[in-house]
Amino acid sequence: MRPVSFELEATVGAARAATFSLPHGTVRTPLYMPVGTQGAVRSVSPLHLAATGTQILLANTYHLSQRPGEKLVEKHGGLHRFMAVDMPMLTDSGGFQVFSLDKEVTEEGVRFAYEVDGQPTFLSPERSMAIQQALGADIAMVFDECLPFGVDRAAAELSLARTHRWEARSKAAHERPDQALFGIVQGGFWGDLRKRSAEAVQEIGFDGYAIGGLSVGEGHDKMCEVLDQTTPHMSAIHPRYLMGVGKPLDLVEGVARGIDMFDCVIQTRHARSGVVYGWRGRIRLTDRRFRSDMYPIDTACTCYTCQNFTRAYLHHLFRVGEILAASLASIHNIAWFHQFMAAMRASILDGTFEAFRQSVREAYPPGPVEEEPPDEGEAGPMLAAPPKEVKRSARRGTRGVR
């Protein structure tokens, strides 16, 4: 394998701060990856994306293989040139996207109809590896089977054995020397199956290890329970990646259990409906209370949106249906989550992680599984320990936009 240069810098309990190097740059953990499913982060240009502090970006193998096709991306020189993004990138394998579709699963792979136009589609370990090598991201993911919440144990055991065989085939088919390959731990919601999977995947041997099969409707407490049963059996000298998780409370509790990397779509999906995140919790910019509010989204945020625009202006943009509203809100959410992860990293480095963790629980308490972001307004507890540069920015002015 092509080892990822992974360096552990500090720990507080299981929480870790680390760095690792990839062909397009070095990343610092813990980190969150914005999702560019179709080869773009929706409503955010590459120029603004770089300014948000994004370290690494995720793109989707399944969708890009359908439109425009991996051969066209490869003709451009790979995803980095196709998207004009000069930063590390990761492609998922396509397994998660097909788990909820009507499909035929065999030992060979998965056959299904592409949901956009009904085109017959086939994915297998070999096909997924061929696509990802053509796309050319820094990190590729093995092809696995993601199970829905509520599946019975017998089905989970059969799926797990097949997933392990698919992961071995993925490794055998992966030949690109400048691309890391991560394995994926599955096993549903049974601790012994998760342990079995972690050991089997590490026996195959990969550059990093992910935890799949979560964020499928199980809720925060069950997610934490599965992580408690899984991460103790995962390699301590490789990156650990929790797939598809991105709420603030889930992030900090994942880090508390030894996770280094996360990805999620809520930062941009919620932004498009006017829901934005900050150090005092969430607010919904479409609420009438913000129509004459002269504050930025968050006075301690250093993003382009908060440094230039008021809540009143953003409320106006959403009210009139201006596309700029989604762009500015998305820029803020992506940038704020990077500031949030940077603060979490700083708390691990200086030994104050448990205080930071508690402040997150106060500002973002657990809620129902499909909770809609509430209209919380300005009130609420302030998260602890934002990065030093954020503190300095907040002290320069606490009223209006600078």
Assess whether 28 and 157 both reside in one domain: yes
Catalytic positions, written as ranges = 92, 263
Q: Which residues contact 336 (CB under 8 A, 6 or more apart)?
A: 276, 277, 278, 298, 301, 303
Assess whether 246 and 115 both reside in one domain: yes
pLDDT value for 392: 43
Domain end call among 264, 296, 324: 264
Largest CA distance in the chain: 61
pLDDT band, very low/low/confident/very high, at 286 (cuts 50, 70, 90): very high
The string of pLDDT tens digits covering residues 293-314 is 999 999 999 999 999 999 999 9
- In angstroms, the first-to-last Cα distance of the chain is 50
Question: Does a cis peptide bond (omega within 30 degrees of 0) precede residue 30?
Answer: yes
Domain that holds residue 344: 269-395
H/E segment holding residue 28? strand 25-29
Q: Is the dihedral angle over the CA atoms 394, 396, 401, 402 positive or is it negative? A: negative
CA 65 → CA 61, 244, 375, distances in Å?
Answer: 6, 20, 39
Residue 143 in contact with residue 98, Cβ under 8 Å?
no
Domain end call among 246, 264, 282: 264
Assess whether 80 and 105 both reside in one domain: yes
| CA distance linking residue 368 with residue 154, whole number of Å | 28
Domain membership flag for residue 389: yes
pLDDT value for 371: 47
| CA distance linking residue 392 with residue 386, whole number of Å | 10
Phi, psi of 285 (to 5 degrees): -65, -20
25 beta partners: 22
**The pTM is what?**
0.91
Residue 378 has pLDDT above 50, yes or no: no
Residue 301 in contact with residue 339, Cβ under 8 Å?
yes
143 DSSP 8-state letter: -
pLDDT value for 368: 60
Phi, psi of 31 (to 5 degrees): -140, 155
Other C-beta atoms closer than 10 Å to the C-beta of 240 total 26
Domain end call among 231, 264, 297: 264
367, burial (CB in 10 Å: exposed 0-12, middle 13-18, buried 19+): middle
Domain membership flag for residue 401: no
Percentage of the chain surpassing pLDDT 70? 91
Residue 377 has pLDDT above 60, yes or no: no
Least confident of 25-34, 140-149, 277-286: 140-149
Assess whether 51 and 91 both reside in one domain: yes
pLDDT band, very low/low/confident/very high, at 114 (cuts 50, 70, 90): confident
Assess whether 171 and 108 both reside in one domain: yes
Number of domains in the chain: 2
| CA distance linking residue 336 with residue 119, whole number of Å | 39
Domain membership flag for residue 402: no
Here the CATH number for the domain that contains residue 226 is 3.20.20.105
